[in-house]
Amino acid sequence: MKDKFYKYIENLQDTITSTLKKVDGVATFQEDLWKRAEGGGGRTRVIENGGVFEKGGVNISKVFGELPEPLRKQFGVKEGDFFACGLSLVLHPKNPFVPTVHANWRYFEMYDANGNIVTQWFGGGQDLTPYYLFNQDAIHFHQVCKSACDRHHPEFYSKFKETCDNYFWNTHRNEARGIGGLFFDYLKETDEFSIEDRYNFVTEVGDSFIESYVPIVKKRKELDYHQQHRDWQEVRRGRYVEFNLVHDRGTLFGLKTNGRIESILMSLPPIVQWKYNHQPKENSEEAKLLEVLKSPKQWVK
């Protein structure tokens, strides 16, 4: 399974980066191959200063070896080996009317002293962070997510949407990071679902990413904007940074386990503002976004 899934994310990275390169029209992805001293490595692809994307990355990695101490504590074991691989992407567009997007799909195995698999699971999801809210874009994104889920179980979308809404919540601000999407973790083999079923579901979601996001980019990337729109985008990017550095489990885990810093912090936007007690004008488009972020919304039935 680990070889099968890693091959999948290799191909998915190629598909996504080639598609985004065409959408951008100016910049190309810079590729950075790296190795991890403890075992494994990755293929980082970053795009910067493009026609559409100010900064973005589509990264794959596989790491393996002895369980780091934080994982040993988490799983309640004194020793053991592991394997983990995944694709992670974040795209920060230049135009404030195009939303930021984040996604990742990952697989994990843990072994006993004899090399037998003790546990294995999939995780991942995709979520949208707009700076100006277009309801039809939110509905489109969530409808694609729901359609992918519905092909595997009628309750997956509502369950994983709720998990996403709860996870991407800036507790210290009491607001959502964005308008959500899907988030799932620890998808293991059960009486109802084989590990092959889990693979099929996660790859279905991964395959749906381009359909969920690229049509929104194409629709909004040519809209005219002014400095006030950029200022708001950069203030809201600050909230994105706050979530990633304060709450995001993946970022915190990477920082605590000698992860590759450039890949971990790739998710951060290039230009950000923190304005003291910044409040948008009443009834403005900026204020309308904040109202939606106060509580999760049901975008599709």
> Is residue 149 packed enough to be buried (19+ CB in 10 Å), middle (13-18) or exposed (0-12)?
buried
In this structure, what token pair is assigned to residue 112? 């006993």
Active-site choice (92, 102, 142, 229)? 102
Distance CA 122, CA 219 (A): 33
Ranges of beta strands (E only) in the chain are 30-35, 40-48, 53-66, 81-93, 100-111, 117-129, 169-170, 175-176, 180-187
Short-list 271, 263, 211, CA closest to 240: 271
Asked if 102 is an active-site residue, the reply is yes
β-bridge mates for residue 169, sequence order: 176
For tokens 């979601």, the residue is: 205
Burial of 192 (0-12, 13-18, 19+ CB in 10 A): exposed
Catalytic site residues?
A: 102
